[in-house]
Structure 1
Amino acid sequence: MAPLTLSPFHWRKKGLTPEEFKNHYETVHIPILQEIAGDKFPKTHRRHYVVRTSEEPTSDDKSNTNYKASVYAGTKAEDFDYDVYSELVFEDEAKFKAFEAVMFDPVLGPKINEDSVKFIDHVKMVWINISESTTAQTSK
């Protein structure tokens, strides 16, 4: 069977800077998820954070109004209001279903959720199924 790749998009909870969000995700949430999921954890869990720079570093404003996305082409930084998208790769759908069972387990699921609500805006969260990645490299 072909690998299954899911890509969740997450928005940081109101009141957190992008740095606080990333720090919590990397140093608190991922270790909790790895510990609870054990061998059900995805084959890979890659996170891609939107680069955001504070327009007024001394401001108390932690919203995207102050932390605009770094856009290299185009002019609409506000189009990128999410903070991270991830790629979770599972060997197949059965492996994903095993991970999903942990996430929705009546004992284990709440432990994961208890942490995620501290830094993720669950109202905006979305997960999509994406096709296998294709890669182009510089030829030598």
Structure 2
Amino acid sequence: MNQTAEELLKLSRAEKNARKRMRLLAIAQFLECKNRTQVANQLKISRTSVNNWVSSYLEAGLDGLEARKAKGRIPYLSAQQQKQLGEFIESHSQSEQGGRLTGEKILHYIKTEFGVEYHHNAIYKLLKQLGFSWITSRSRHPKQQQSVQ
């Protein structure tokens, strides 16, 4: 927070990340003129963004201008429930009786076991997150005889 406007301009020229460069420029101009509205108009960005960046800079210095990872949406299933679902899929995909575990069956299991409703398209994204593939191998027919093979 002890940087001058000139030092921040030098840092912005050396910065490869365009978003951080914009933040550094905004702070440098703020230090020169002390007017957030003028900075926003000059850089053609929102005044709210300039206010947030200046506040972050004044509180935490240059570290306050670093991009933060977005938290994202809270998952519908907890980590324990996801683990239980993974175990269910593992146990049913390696069944001795054959048959396939479909998205509909997984949807039904999630709804009955956890009380959570998923759209059928979201099931395949959930499978990918859990490390499964929705592509299945050909199943063993339930009436197939082992001696014939």
TM norm structure 2: 0.23
More helix by share: 2
With normalisation by structure 1, the TM-score equals: 0.24
> Computing the radius of gyration over CA atoms, which structure comes out larger, 1 or 2?
2
Q: Which has the higher contact order (CA 8 A, sep 6+)?
A: 1
Which has a greater percent of strand? 1
